[in-house]
Structure 1
Amino acid sequence: MAAHRTPAHRKPRQRPLTGPAARTAATLALAGAATAGSVTGAGAAPAEPATPSAAQVRAKVDRLYHDAEVATEKYNGAKEKAAAATRSVDALTEEAARRTGRLNTARNALGSLATAQYRTGTLDPAVQLALSSDPDSYLERAAYLDRAGDRQRGVLNGIRRQVSRIAEVKKRADRETAKLAARRAELHEHRTAIRTRLADARELLATLTADERAAYERHADDRHGGGPAHADRSTGRAVAAAPNGRAAQAIAFARGAIGKPYVWGATGPDAFDCSGLTQAAWRAAGVGLPRTTYTQINAGQRVPRSQLAPGDLVFFYSGISHVGLYIGGGQMIHAPRPGAPVRVAPIDQMPFAGATRVA
């Protein structure tokens, strides 16, 4: 009987792999796929970065200007603290000089006493010690005071107090000098941040066409209140009666500043940043405000938006990074940003954060 043959066109049935053989086959398949993928990836050209649209550029410029304003308020705060530290160091230096003068006077008096004692051959060891060029040694061995007479004791005790106080003053001066160095480093950091963000904003604006830049400026003007409006917006006249004379004076000052440029860190009279304008306006009314937005918001009585009155300070953004002077009718006078002068603007064009009534 002839052996049974499998037809040539039919392949033998493959038995499925199981156990270790199946796992090995799967591992080899995955490795092959990974190798193929890496070869394909190595050969593929990198994707060209997409050119940002004009709208994306405008949005990024807005963020950079906002970040610069945040850094400006931090710079203003650090500058105020640096000024205070400088005044403290100067005062301590003057105090140390005064005390050193008193010490020298006392040492001269003691020297006269010592001269008289020397002539009589009775120079006290305590006097010799006090006249030493090493006051620390004198303080350590102050027990010699007990051997001095009444007059000597008073002079020597005075010298001891002056030496001790001069040492204390110098320690305080050293601490204040360290604070001043830290404030100056902080100033440098914030100044660099401001300049970097403004430079980045200018560089981005330069990528736009002239028409696109003009459209951005129109957009910024509308958002910050520089667009067409009724006479009250352009002149800054309060559209509601000020509650008192001081508020009226502050508004009058701010109205007189309309058109002056925004310059970060400026408090007038020729240029302002946002908190510099409100500080100067209320200073003209005889009221002192702190320098920064985040300190000005606590400089008076908080009022809800529904109860705003002309002269109130209105604040914006979650970090309290912008401030304006309310003039009624939903309008304020403020210094918006670099390139945008002091102007009247609606308060609903920025995220409202709170309001404060100064007086």
Structure 2
Amino acid sequence: MASHRRPKSPSRARISVLTAAAATAVAVSAQSAQAAPKPTTAQLQAQLQQLNTESDQAIQKFDAAQAKLKTQQAAVNTLQDQIARSQSTVNSRLDALGEVASQQYASGAVDSTVQLLLSSTPDEYLAQASSLGQITDNQASEIKSLQAEQGKLDAEKAQAEQTLQQIQATNQQLAANKAEVQKKIAQTQALLDSMTAAQKAALAKSTGSGAASRDTGSTSRPNLGSAKPGSSIEAAAFAAAQTRLGMPYVWGATGPTSFDCSGLVQWSYAQAGYSIGRSTYDQINYGTPVASVSDLQVGDLIFFNGNSHVGIYAGNGMVLHAPHTGTVVKYEQLSYIGSIYAMRHI
């Protein structure tokens, strides 16, 4: 006869676990059913501002390395020219001295060891020649002079080699900076692509600059008030910058048809006959400080966000600058760009 047993009741512990698991599943389902809250326009603006600042920082490092590389290449070119001239001089004087030594050897006036001089390197030639006892006073003087010339040549070669090594290191830094710039720009574009059309419109309206799209910006002349340039150089630089309105922002570019922020400043001041550094980190060292916004004059340089961005003061609280990737050279209000780091009067 079959045994009929009553099933065991689940333990309290098991009931508690099952209940907790069910509650968790319900909570997860409820959370999944609710869409993640959309970021506010202010939050989107803050994210874009942060990404643009980080991009500016990477770009200015790239610009500084690029300028350093240009300087190093010019230096090594100069050294190589000097080396070629020095080598030519040494070779000519060695040939002349060797000819005299050959003639003396043929006449039996010089020890046979002079024959070694005719087939050795310049260094060996001079070292051996200086030890010979049967050379004339004129030859001794010439050898001493040649040794000094050879020493100068060796120093130039060593300096050129050091500069070439510096160029290699700078090129590596340049590549790293370039990769960082591209990474930041990709992050910025990803954020823009994630926005809805309504969010982009709201963001553009809140900034007044079209920061969320590849727009033409404010390229028409706004009300700049009655402020005057601080100097003739600033007047000429500002006038030059105005001719670049609408030109595209391209990081690393210095004109004449595309610019990054410091590239626009460098180009504009060059048109005024004034040489200024390539990066914001250089440019902030030119001119004299401006104490307050109320003291700004047209043409003054304004540095933003920890000296990662620069623009030219246009008057009435407006700045003319090359903002960031996806925009063009245009006017914007000071408050739209970021926190002011420093102001300089050129």
Letter in 2 for 1:341: V
Taking the TM superposition and a 5 Å limit, the aligned residue runs for 1:196-211 are: 196-211=183-198
Structure 2 residue aligned with 1:334: 321
How many residues end up aligned between the 2 structures?
314
Matched residues, percent identical?
A: 32
2:176 matched to 1:189? Answer: yes
Letter in 2 for 1:250: A
CA contact (8 A) 1:283 1:289 kept: yes
Q: Deviations over 1:33-68 (max 9, x none)?
A: xxx9xxx8xx999x98x9573445554333222211
Match of 1:267 among 246, 251, 254: 254
The correspondence for 1:86, drawn from 55, 73, 81, is 73
Residue of structure 2 in register with 1:315 after alignment: 303
Q: The residue matched to 1:167 in structure 2 has which SS?
A: helix
CA distance in 2, matches of 1:125, 1:170: 33
C-alpha offsets along residues 194-246 of structure 1, whole Å, 9 cap, x if unaligned?
0111112212222222332333344444487x9xxxx9973585631223332
Distance in 2 between residues matched to 1:134 and 1:86, nearest whole Å: 29
The residue aligned with 1:354 is 342
Q: Match for 1:281: what amino acid?
A: S
Gap change, CA 1:260 and 1:52, over 3 Å in 2: farther
Find the aligned partners of 2:287 and 2:48 in 1 and give their Cα distance: 34
Letter in 1 for 2:260: D
Which has the larger Rg?
1
TM-score by length of 2: 0.80
- 2:287 aligned with 1:300: yes
Relative to structure 1, the CA distance from residue 138 to residue 109 in structure 2 (aligned partners, 3 Å threshold; closer, same or farther) is closer
Instruction: For residue 353 of structure 1, give the secondary structure of its aligned residue in structure 2.
Output: strand
Q: Which residue of 2 aligns with 1:115?
A: 102
Provide the residue aligned with 2:147 in structure 1: 160
CA distance in 1, matches of 2:157, 2:131: 26
In the aligned structure 2, how far is the partner of 1:222 from the partner of 1:232?
10
Whether the 8 Å contact between 2:219 and 2:330 is mirrored in structure 1 is: no
By how many angstroms is 1:139 displaced?
A: 5.5
Q: Are 1:126 and 1:147, in contact at CA under 8 Å, matched by a contact in 2?
A: no
Corresponding position of 2:166: 179
Residue 145 of structure 1: CA displacement?
A: 5.1
Q: 1:144 to 1:126 in 2, by over 3 A?
A: farther
Specify the alignment match of 1:215 in structure 2: 202
Query: CA separation of 1:256/1:235 partners in 2, compared to 1, >3 Å: closer, same or farther?
Result: farther
Distance in 2 of aligned mates of 1:287 and 1:304: 23
TM-score (structure 1 length as normaliser): 0.77
Q: Secondary structure of 1:80's match? A: helix
Partner amino acid for 1:80? A
Q: Deviations over 1:315-352 (max 9, x none)?
A: 111x2011111122221211111112111122233201
User: CA, structure 1 residues 238+280, in 2 after alignment: closer, same or farther (shift >3 Å)?
Assistant: farther
- How far off its partner does 1:137 sit? 4.0
**Amino acid in structure 2 at the alignment position of 1:267:** T
Residue of structure 1 equivalent to 2:52: 65
Unpaired runs of at least 5, structure 2? 1-16
Mean Cα deviation higher: 211-220 or 86-95? 211-220
Of residues 149, 166, 171 in structure 1, which corresponds to 2:136? 149
What is the CA distance between 1:96 and its match in structure 2?
A: 1.3
Gaps of 5+ in 1: 1-35
For the aligned residue pairs, the C-alpha RMSD in angstroms reads 3.2
Higher mean C-alpha displacement, 253-262 vs 119-128: 119-128
The answer to whether the 8 A contact 2:301-2:313 is kept is: yes
Where 2:320 maps in the other structure, the secondary structure is strand
